[in-house]
Amino acid sequence: MEIYLDNSATTKPLDEVVAAVNHMMTENYGNPSALHRRGLEAEHAVKKARSQVASLFNTGNHDVIFTSGGTESNNLAIFGSLSTIRDTSRPLVTSAIEHPSVLNIFKHLEKNGRKVIYIRTDAQGFIDLDEFKKALDDHPALVSIMTVNNEIGSIQPIAEIARLIEACDEKPVFHTDAVQAFGKIPLPSTAVDLMSVSAHKFHGPKGIGGLFVKKGARLAPLMFGGGQEGNLRPGTENAPAIVGMGTAAAWAEARLSENMDKLNQLKASVINGILKEISGVRINSPISPQFAPHILSVSFKGIRGEVLLHSLEQDGIYVATRSACSSKKKSRNHVLEALQLSPDEAEGTIRISFSSFNRQDELDYVIEKLKHHVASIRRITGWRG
């Protein structure tokens, strides 16, 4: 038996996505920019996919720029916006728990002389709105706050943040990394100027993502070439992956409410099972409208998360200890530090992330194996609680 519970790192592509990609590679393989029939057929398929992706965001006020994924979208959003703003004295605002593809951009900018304000979070992973309001008094040029945290699933109050930004005399650009939200939860349709998404987080292909750009938002390209994607992302369109992303977006839109309900049920069953069967546990991602339904972060005292991960792997169960982009680094986990976890709790944290294809019988087996392995590891470490 194989039970895949690392769906925040990546998801298995839908069968219909694989079929759509295969069709584009073997049948509809023309260059979308070509003027002949093959090119026009590919262009039509890309246009349909763009509409499908836009429909999932439910807005007619943003253009979709296809990119290679969430990391490129975040870079294009932040660097592209700042290239259009002449006043480099204005600070930049982000949170302390952003994904590395955002946080490392700001660290780079900080090293090169830009002032960056990092908004702290509370013990549940929500930004301090009073601190954010104070930061807005410094007239920032750009704000980047993620929608759903990739490690603990906290959902930031994006609509409230947007309302505060709208009230500014010198309105900053507002960007959100929505990679863990898009296709998983409803999104505010007009709240942001720029929004990054990635297909492989909602059963689409790897290597394709998008940046939603609000009409009228100023953005400069990072690369130059033939002028594709509104002169913002040149290069021959990755039509197979784009069509695969569109197929996944249409699937997610049709089942959004149904999938949310199922994911919350699966998550609740695992939380209840863990709390019933295992002591010395902290749940970092409770069942709540303020937390994404597909992400569950759990801290087990007296163990190392990496040891538990590999123990579960022996039983065909796949989980994570932290973001896949940071999993091979030995540095401290900035998200868990922001939650003020004790060193013991932080070291024993794993992330379980669900998809709608997981089943209750699988999760019953997971609880059984978790109980066994946690007890076994604690006997070795001598933890008594």
Catalytic (active-site) positions = 325
Local structure of residue 171 (DSSP, 8 states): P
Residue 72, amino acid: E
Which residues contact residue 374 at a Cβ distance below 8 angstroms, ignoring those fewer than 6 apart? 278, 300, 303, 308
Compute how many other C-beta atoms are within 10 angstroms of the C-beta atom of residue 260: 17
The phi, psi pair for 293, rounded to 5°, reads -75, -15
Can you read off the two tokens belonging to residue 96?
């302390």
Strand partners, 237: none
Residue 109 has φ and ψ, to the nearest 5°, of -65, -40
- Residue whose tokens read 């999938």: 259
Contacts of 288 (CB under 8 A, 6+ apart): none
Q: Nearest to residue 125, comparing CAs of 288, 328, 249, 274?
A: 288
Query: Residue for token digits 């013990």?
Result: 123
Return the beta strands (E) in the chain as ranges: 3-4, 62-67, 92-95, 116-119, 142-144, 173-177, 194-198, 209-214, 281-283, 295-300, 317-318, 349-353
- CA atoms of 30 and 33, how far apart (whole Å): 9
- Confirm if 127 and 95 have CB atoms less than 8 A apart: yes
Report how far apart, in Å, the C-alpha atoms of 90 and of each of 94, 118, 148, 166, 238 are.
Answer: 14, 14, 26, 17, 37
Q: Return the amino acid letter for 201.
A: K
